[in-house]
Homo-oligomer: A and B are copies of this chain.
Amino acid sequence: MIDRVAVVGIGMTSFGKFLDRSVRNLSEEAVRDALSSAGLGPEQVDWVFFGNAASGIVTGQEMIRAQAALRFTGLAGKPMVNVENACASGSTAFHLAWQCVASGQAEVALVVGAEKLSHADKTVSFGAFTKAVDLEEELPSHVGAGSGSIFMDIYAEKTRRYMEATGTTAADLAQITVKSRHAGARNPLAQFRKETTVEEVLGGRMISAPLTLQMCSSIGDGAAAVVLCSPRIASTLTGCKPVWVKSSVLVSGFADATKPNAAGRAANAAYEAAGIGPNDIHVAEVHDATAPAEIFHYENLQFCAPGHGAELLRTGATAIGGRISVNPSGGLLSRGHPIGATGAAQIVELVLQLRGEAGERQRVGAKVALAENTGGQIGGDSAAAVVSILAV
């Protein structure tokens, strides 16, 4: 396959709760660092894709989020598209930017994923997630029931069924968090950087059984930016080592739980388009919105057979030093999950891994990487899923 699109710049803020930072302030830092790492100026950017999911709810800014956030970056006047796909907003922006460059519409495209979820009134932050389901068809059945967090309740119910069917234990789930915090402790930009133990995870506050507090991703703020370009431009940039996008696939969910899920369909199509299989992947960033979700995604991505996710975890194959390092950034659980930023942050991590610049969390010898990001909820499936495969 011809390499048509290179990632040549990455930038990312610290992820965390920053009540004093705005979407603009976060975006400016990520954009500045991404362009600078590519050795490009804003005037060389042809197109901007801006992923954000919750500004309308948390800050009131709707409609022209990119234009407002980026007005002082030197990017004003460029084509800008504001993209939403719930927790997959950042990867949707990345996918469109890849399309834009792959098709020759742009030589240089910039992806920004930015989110400000923290709010002095916590109910505003948590309320955002009620907007990522189908309000007319599905929200009514959740209101007033369960933990108060729709998504945690959905994950919890699915997890209970999965544990029953496969023998996966609560300790297995806790081990995902232990692995995640171990990685987060090695990522200076991560929101949670303190190691934990299985006992500590299991002893935490129960959010929605069997999910304890540390098994759930948290409210956070942050931005990540990625610069993509054509091979022609990449060849002129001597200061950076290009990472190639081998494929990128976006699908939406069937509102029908009997059909294959969105993440699995996107992965199948991405493997096929890239001519790369699950056994070729050295490092992956997957959508661990909860601890069990990482196990589910081992299976969706065919890292193991259905029902064998916990076994794969127990072998250590998905740890930083393993055959297929999963979520070496700390993932959503520990790097953090400012929702619109997550898809772009996954790419940032994989580029570091493929360049061999991931320091203490480096998967040694990483040449092929996969990012998987899902968003929203519709009829028992993710509303959107994006899988992208990168390589050097």
Q: What is the interface of chain A, defined by CB distance below 8 A to chain B? A: 22, 24, 48, 53-54, 56-57, 59-68, 71-72, 76-86, 89, 92, 96, 99-100, 102-105, 128, 130-137, 250-256, 259, 262, 265, 375-379, 383-384
Contacts and interface: CB of A to CB of B under 8 A. Distances in A.
A192 B96 CA distance: 38
A136 B104 CA distance: 35
Given A78-B251, A104-B103, A252-B80, A64 B136 contact: no
A66 B252 contact: yes
Quickly give the copy total for this chain. 2
B62 A84 contact: yes
B68 A62 contact: no
Given A63-B383, A64-B134, 8 more contacts: A61-B131, A62-B128, A67-B383, A68-B134, A76-B253, A77-B252, A82-B84, A102-B105
A89 B81 CA distance: 9
Nearest to A269: B79
Contacts of A103: 99, 102-105
A128 B61 CA distance: 10
Contact of A96 (B81, B252, B255, B256): B81
7 contacts: A56-B131, A57-B62, A76-B379, A77-B251, A79-B250, A84-B84, A102-B103
A102 B60 CA distance: 35
A100 B103 CA distance: 8
B252 A60 contact: no
Choose among A130, A137, A265, A384 the residue with the greatest number of B CB atoms under 10 Å from its CB. A384
